[in-house]
Structure 1
Amino acid sequence: MSRFEPDDIYEYTGVVDVALSPDGERAAFVTSEYDPDEDRRRSSVFTVPTDGSRDPHRLTRASDASSPVWGPDGEKLGILAARERDVELTVGPQEEEAEDVDEDDAEDVGGDGSGDEGPKQQVWVYDLARGGDARQITDRDEGVRAFDFGPDGDRVVFDARDPTDEQSDRLETRRDDGPIEIERLNHKANGVGWLDDVTSYLFVASVDTRESHRLDDAYGSGSFEALSGLQPAWGPDDRIAFVANYADDAEDSAVYDVHTIDPDGSNRERVTDGGRFCMNPTWSPDGDRLAFIARDPPMNWYRPAEVHVADGDGIRPVSDGLDRTVALSAGVSWTDDNTLLASIGDEGRTRLVRCHADGSPAERVFDAQGEDRTFGAADATPNGVVGTLTTADAPPDLYALDGLADARRLTDLNAGLVEEYDLPTHERVTFENGDGDEVEAITFLPPGFDRDDPEPHPTVALVHGGPMSYDTPGFDLTRAFFTNAGYVVTCVNYRGSTSYGGDFAERLRGSRGELETDDVVSGVDHLVERGWADPDRLFCTGFSYGGITSAHVAVREDRFAAIAPEHGIYDFYSNFGTDDNHLWHEDEFGLPWENVETYRDISSITRVDEIDTPMLITAGEEDWRCPPTQAEQLYLSVKKQDVPAKLVVYQDEHHNIGDPERAIPRIETLLEWFETHDPAVADDEA
């Protein structure tokens, strides 16, 4: 078999979203593919029958597409797509005022004033019964972020920015290199850019006529609004649910409430009580109950997020007995009027759980998953369940889960890749850290590795971000590249990781560096003791919080041959206010000017004089989560001490490593840095 090289990324297809039709007979899913001509990721929507009788059908071909939503009768499928304007909107009589628009004034203005003149993301609807191409339903100058069908399928509710004429003029000035003027507290958001004062609203549009009206009382407000949006969900009783924070301190709070409103914009009601961070509202089939995911307290990300249900009897958590975090991004699905399906992190894997609106204990389901497979996207209706499953050596594919007992494979998206390349195997490894706690690492092994009679291998400690996340045994491109280059890769689910219970995660709250370093190093030492890892050829890297931890490893340990912090924060004091995480840091550590010593203690830069390990430090030029100035500070501080160091800044890049123009040079640079400072390679060359 061939070695899996960075350029082979173009052969990989991922699955990022799935939606099951109301009758359970078809699934729509979104793929992420890599375009070598444009050197970027492309997303497409496919449909496939859940009985496995036909291969998947690529539904979208003209542009990137995402967010499939089925109409209530299953005959319509809506998507979000940024494609050329529907010809039906460009032919025939036009509005009179369109004749007087100057071409220079007609260009779209992006939400951050970036001047992107390409098509904006709009709602497009396929009539699957009649066939043919999708029909454009919305035509918003700044695009649409989310939508849902009404109970009869003849209307959609959507979330869109709606600048006034004065605001549009200011955004135009920004685009023309004018000053960026901001008075709101939250002034930037990663992946969005500099924020502005434009308000987003819910709109209701007719699928037939495209006519729409704005719901003036359903508008975006809250500290995370630029990233999370309003998340509209239209119920069977003709009420629309959405999330927002309408308190006076909304910009300085992590609270998000669930609200409901009539489709004519009247009778807005707050469902929740202003004390939770709520996301993903979903109506029960009969419309009597609302389910949503919530964290209480709202800013403590270490505590498990839980499924909640609101009805005439009040609001109650229905997954709290599991002591596991529910995936905020996955949402919940009703399988009947009392039963919901959700995804949780459970000891280093993602699995499905069944929750009950009446308060009966939640239970784990689909035991056939085993410990080696992990779920990705999933969806359910009263007529079925679909989800993606993956293992270390099998990229994700879509499955129909009959009765939550058996899995029927519906796709084979990476058959060529699996047949041609040596993909890693894995083993779950447990060990004791310095405090005597049991910690788990998922360790990925290179081709030909003999577990019974191992040869010590160069080993990479690959530290996950978050920290409130977890590594799983699922397929991962970075792990595959490293193992194919001959490395053992160990992914330690250190204290602070979710999926092992709230107490395990919350041990990290209020500290940085010491606990994670202890866990990562203890995991590496365990592999050395087993004869898997060569003690002279140890390396460490991680992205985001993994970069933060990698830098802390560098100031506390000298056993690694080279370390590569990627997109991290190294001076929390100077970082405050330059990223989009000030609420989190204030909640956990207080304000920096009131807690100077705390901020110095959690920052690796404070002990930078103890670093003597060669350091590769990377950043994104437009990363507002972990700003590039942090990488500059660490690089210069290390370089001043004559420690071998290299700074890599990816231009026009935010907190991201996924696009091929970023992913390929990233892994090549990491491999080159480790090889350069590998003593065994140096000995061979000598």
Structure 2
Amino acid sequence: MNSRFLLLALLTLGGFSSLAQTSVKKRPLTPRDIYRLQTISDLQVSPDGKWVAYGLSTVDSTKDKRNTDIWMVSWNGQESVQLTNTPEGESKPRFSPDGKYLSFVSARQGATKGQIWLMDRRGGEARKLTDLKNDLEDYVWSPDGKKIAMVLRDVDYADSAKTKVRKPYVLDRYHFKADVRGYLENSPVHLYVFDVTTKKLDTLTTGIYDETSPVWSPDGSQIAFVSNRTQEPDRNQNTDIYVIDARKGAAFKQLTTWTGSDNSPAWSPDGKTIAYLRSTASGNFLMYDQPVLAVISREGGEPALLSKTLDRPVRNPHWTKDGQAIGVLIQDDRQAYVGQYTVATGKLTKLTSGNRAFSDLEAVSANNWATLMSDPQTPPELYAVENGITRRLTHVHDAFLAPLELAQVEGFTSRSKDGAQVSNILYRPANAPANKKLPTILYIHGGPVSQDEFSFDLTRQLLAAGGYAVVAVNYRGSNGRGIEHTKAIYADWGNKEVLDILGATDYVVEKGIADPERLGIGGWSYGGILTNYTIATDTRFKAAASGAGSSLQLSMYGIDQYTNQYENELGAPWKNTDKWLKLSYPFLKADRIKTPTIFMAGEKDFNVPSAGSEQMFQALRSLGIPTQLIIYPGQFHGITVPSYQKDRADRYLQWFDKYLKPKTT
């Protein structure tokens, strides 16, 4: 191993030990701590199971950006080694099958495209392996280490003019725009095989369809992949599993025929079967769905649906090394746990439990897994799960947490006006008096199909550090409570979710937690949309922060990325105008809103375009309701520039403080 990096790692571990022994005066979390928070991603286990590689993202405050480097931690947790350290950053670490090398993707040396680099995992300089002209979307080593399957996007020649002026976008697709990618012309992604020795690149697939998620068969003869090959893929969410011989000119074979979604293929160690995720529903629109674990023969046929009766979403399927079971992550009522299905019997064994959330999963050996785990007091760290026992591997966040005094977090269940039981999470400020009513903010999650979990939530912790009780509501439409709970809001937005938000509000008021005269509400994306719905329904909220939301839903048709959803769920606007107008009530009844509201959006958001926030800002401004509009330059739906993330947190606190805290003289 590189002795310099190893020495730094050991010194760092020693520093953690010294820090733990030193008494540190605790302080509240502040928006500036955003610059200190690191992020672990993309864990990969070495073939011998002795090391786990991962990406570690840190903030470079001088450049106002995040940079990711590649690290490794030993399976016993005793050694931590930084493998890369460049200003360009690296991603997608992958071990070579013999375990001697680690590959990664980087646009080093002024490259305009990400290339695959290869380095000896024992140390030394990396060497560039590829010189690709296409955008590299994904790659995976063949079992013998001689080839690499790649997913490459067709070259876009629109920017090739010598004047550097892009040619006009020529659009004829049904789905013609998407957040981050922008306007969508016809540039599909295809499969290629790269020979590591000769550097020859062979084309496996061509045409108008996308092919993604390649996985090699254990004998290296075939590649399984995912594709939507319906007549017009933009009009549905169908995908199927295919297999193709790993050679130029080979024909592919379709394995699955479900008209819903089949994805995330994983070969069994003996190569006889493929595990994958299948949607519950078979329609063209699958937002309110949850994936089911399925297994199918490599020859096709009828799949076995292992988690069909679980009624919870499963993800990240991985076979155990002995091929007897499949590990998955399962979301269940504010928790996310590691489960393991025995293939022969279909029996589910729950390997972890408790108020915490697991994400990412990689097999190490029989019944042993590498995973990321977070709880309300700890950002995600790498853990080993050995025969159901968790063991921490990394201590990335020790220095971040050492000076901080965080909120106390607990779950509670509220009852909505129509009798629905709703699962929620409460954040109490550290050292808040037990019997004192607190100014309270309901911070609403987006999605809507997601759930607030017992995991580290920076935004809610920041609001709690500002002296607020903070409530997270898993309103109907969230997942983790069964598919009927998720589907309850189908074509009925702003109704049951608002009942659930108000029911949770009533609960914290009745229990003496919230001061009824100092209530606030906020959220981002669908959380911003629900903020608008709620303040148009109930005037008790004294302040609101609506981020990346919309209200005049009729005006979103054709300017966001959800046309397929709209036409399947609501019907075309010219055919079902009354439905569209009904769902647009926060804007059309804006004169009912009395809540001072700050609106925020990313300038380049194609998910929920800034027009949604601009319209509501203009309405409240015209009505004389205190309001502000914040547009973050160059940002998409997710705000990624660190200084903008800090600015957003600062503005949340300033806005809520202005209206929810008594003025002192």
Q: TM-score, normalised by structure 2?
A: 0.91
Deviates more, 1:542-551 or 1:184-193: 184-193
Instruction: Summarize the alignment of residues 573-584 of structure 1 with structure 2, pairs less than 5 Å apart.
Output: 573-584=554-565
Match for residue 282 of structure 2 among 273, 290, 297: 297
Match for residue 16 of structure 1 among 33, 41, 47: 41
Match for residue 323 of structure 2 among 326, 337, 357: 337
Offset of residue 673 of structure 1: 1.1
Residue 500 of structure 2 is matched in structure 1 by 519
Offset of residue 210 of structure 1: 1.9
Structure 1 alignment gaps of length 5 or more: 86-117
Instruction: Summarize the alignment of residues 400-479 of structure 1 with structure 2, pairs less than 5 Å apart.
Output: 400-403=384-387, 405-450=388-433, 453-479=434-460
Deviates more, 1:334-343 or 1:516-525: 334-343
1:572 and 2:556 equivalent? Answer: no
* Structure 1 runs, 4 residues or longer, greater than 6 Å off: none
* Residue type at the aligned position of 2:311: D
Give the fraction of aligned pairs with identical amino acids, expressed as a percent. 28
User: What is the distance in 1 between the residues matched to 2:45 and 2:554?
Assistant: 47
User: What is the distance in 2 between the residues matched to 1:359 and 1:503?
Assistant: 27
Q: 1:169 to 1:406 in 2, by over 3 A?
A: closer
Offset of residue 169 of structure 1: 4.5
Q: 1:530 to 1:366 in 2, by over 3 A?
A: same
Deviates more, 1:407-416 or 1:75-84: 75-84
Instruction: Summarize the alignment of residues 533-572 of structure 1 with structure 2, pairs less than 5 Å apart.
Output: 533-572=514-553
User: What is the distance in 2 between the residues matched to 1:179 and 1:162?
Assistant: 18
Residue 20 of structure 2 is matched in structure 1 by none
Q: Deviations over 1:590-614 (max 9, x none)?
A: 2222111111112232322211111
Q: 1:143 to 1:170 in 2, by over 3 A?
A: closer
Residue 587 of structure 1 is matched in structure 2 by 568
User: What is the distance in 1 between the residues matched to 2:208 and 2:137?
Assistant: 12
Give the secondary structure class of the aligned counterpart of 1:344: strand
* Residue type at the aligned position of 1:349: Q
Deviates more, 1:292-301 or 1:347-356: 292-301
Q: Deviations over 1:426-471 (max 9, x none)?
A: 0001111111121111111111024xx3211111101000110000
Q: Does the Cα contact within 8 Å between 2:602 and 2:639 map onto a contact in 1? A: no
1:668 and 2:650 equivalent? Answer: yes
* Residue type at the aligned position of 1:248: Q
Q: Deviations over 1:243-267 (max 9, x none)?
A: 1112212121211111111111302
Offset of residue 391 of structure 1: 1.4
Q: Does the Cα contact within 8 Å between 1:398 and 1:410 map onto a contact in 2? A: yes
* Residue type at the aligned position of 2:461: A
Give the secondary structure class of the aligned counterpart of 1:556: coil
Q: 1:270 to 1:174 in 2, by over 3 A?
A: farther
Offset of residue 274 of structure 1: 4.8
Offset of residue 170 of structure 1: 6.1
* Residue type at the aligned position of 1:54: E
Residue 335 of structure 2 is matched in structure 1 by 349
Residue 120 of structure 1 is matched in structure 2 by 113
Q: Does the Cα contact within 8 Å between 2:53 and 2:72 map onto a contact in 1? A: yes
Q: Deviations over 1:64-100 (max 9, x none)?
A: 2222223323223222222226xxxxxxxxxxxxxxx
Offset of residue 216 of structure 1: 3.1
User: What is the distance in 2 between the residues matched to 1:343 and 1:11?
Assistant: 29
Match for residue 637 of structure 1 among 615, 619, 642: 619
Residue 232 of structure 2 is matched in structure 1 by 249
Q: 1:151 to 1:638 in 2, by over 3 A?
A: same
Residue 103 of structure 1 is matched in structure 2 by none
User: What is the distance in 2 between the residues matched to 1:322 and 1:274?
Assistant: 20
Structure 2 alignment gaps of length 5 or more: 1-25
User: What is the distance in 2 between the residues matched to 1:388 and 1:470?
Assistant: 17
Residue 108 of structure 1 is matched in structure 2 by none
User: What is the distance in 2 between the residues matched to 1:602 and 1:447?
Assistant: 39
1:149 and 2:141 equivalent? Answer: yes
Q: Does the Cα contact within 8 Å between 2:159 and 2:165 map onto a contact in 1? A: no
User: What is the distance in 1 between the residues matched to 2:98 and 2:607?
Assistant: 41
Q: 1:535 to 1:2 in 2, by over 3 A?
A: same
Q: How many residues align?
A: 632
User: What is the distance in 2 between the residues matched to 1:132 and 1:56?
Assistant: 13
Q: Deviations over 1:176-219 (max 9, x none)?
A: 154222122221111111112223221111122322111134x6
Q: Does the Cα contact within 8 Å between 1:284 and 1:336 map onto a contact in 2? A: no
Match for residue 320 of structure 1 among 291, 308, 315: 308
Q: Does the Cα contact within 8 Å between 1:84 and 1:119 map onto a contact in 2? A: no
* Residue type at the aligned position of 1:249: E
Q: 1:261 to 1:173 in 2, by over 3 A?
A: farther
User: What is the distance in 1 between the residues matched to 2:451 and 2:163?
Assistant: 40
Residue 137 of structure 1 is matched in structure 2 by 129
Residue 288 of structure 1 is matched in structure 2 by 272
User: What is the distance in 2 between the residues matched to 1:673 and 1:62?
Assistant: 36
Give the secondary structure class of the aligned counterpart of 2:108: coil
User: What is the distance in 2 between the residues matched to 1:220 and 1:346?
Assistant: 39
* Residue type at the aligned position of 1:179: P
Q: 1:198 to 1:302 in 2, by over 3 A?
A: closer
Residue 115 of structure 1 is matched in structure 2 by none
1:528 and 2:509 equivalent? Answer: yes
* Residue type at the aligned position of 1:205: F
Give the secondary structure class of the aligned counterpart of 1:677: helix
Q: 1:675 to 1:220 in 2, by over 3 A?
A: farther
User: What is the distance in 1 between the residues matched to 2:308 and 2:473?
Assistant: 26
Offset of residue 143 of structure 1: 2.6
Give the secondary structure class of the aligned counterpart of 2:242: strand
Q: Does the Cα contact within 8 Å between 1:81 and 1:124 map onto a contact in 2? A: yes
Give the secondary structure class of the aligned counterpart of 1:38: coil
User: What is the distance in 2 between the residues matched to 1:575 and 1:582?
Assistant: 9
Match for residue 202 of structure 2 among 205, 210, 213: 213
Q: Does the Cα contact within 8 Å between 2:278 and 2:293 map onto a contact in 1? A: yes
1:490 and 2:483 equivalent? Answer: no
Residue 105 of structure 1 is matched in structure 2 by none
User: What is the distance in 2 between the residues matched to 1:616 and 1:562?
Assistant: 8
Give the secondary structure class of the aligned counterpart of 1:241: strand
Q: TM-score, normalised by structure 1?
A: 0.88
Offset of residue 276 of structure 1: 2.1
User: What is the distance in 2 between the residues matched to 1:158 and 1:174?
Assistant: 32
* Residue type at the aligned position of 2:117: W
User: What is the distance in 2 between the residues matched to 1:82 and 1:358?
Assistant: 45
Q: Does the Cα contact within 8 Å between 1:280 and 1:332 map onto a contact in 2? A: no
Q: Does the Cα contact within 8 Å between 1:56 and 1:411 map onto a contact in 2? A: no
* Residue type at the aligned position of 1:319: S
Q: 1:469 to 1:174 in 2, by over 3 A?
A: farther
Q: Deviations over 1:221-277 (max 9, x none)?
A: 2xxx6xxx6121112132111111122121212111111111113021111115121
User: What is the distance in 2 between the residues matched to 1:169 and 1:6?
Assistant: 41
User: What is the distance in 2 between the residues matched to 1:592 and 1:556?
Assistant: 24
Instruction: Summarize the alignment of residues 69-84 of structure 1 with structure 2, pairs less than 5 Å apart.
Output: 69-84=94-109
* Residue type at the aligned position of 2:470: V
Give the secondary structure class of the aligned counterpart of 1:539: strand
1:659 and 2:641 equivalent? Answer: yes
Q: 1:591 to 1:358 in 2, by over 3 A?
A: farther
Q: Does the Cα contact within 8 Å between 1:321 and 1:361 map onto a contact in 2? A: no
Offset of residue 278 of structure 1: 2.3
Offset of residue 220 of structure 1: 6.6
1:43 and 2:43 equivalent? Answer: no
Q: Deviations over 1:386-425 (max 9, x none)?
A: 111111112221111112x222211111112211011222
* Residue type at the aligned position of 1:10: Y
Give the secondary structure class of the aligned counterpart of 1:64: coil
Q: Does the Cα contact within 8 Å between 1:24 and 1:385 map onto a contact in 2? A: no
Offset of residue 172 of structure 1: 4.2
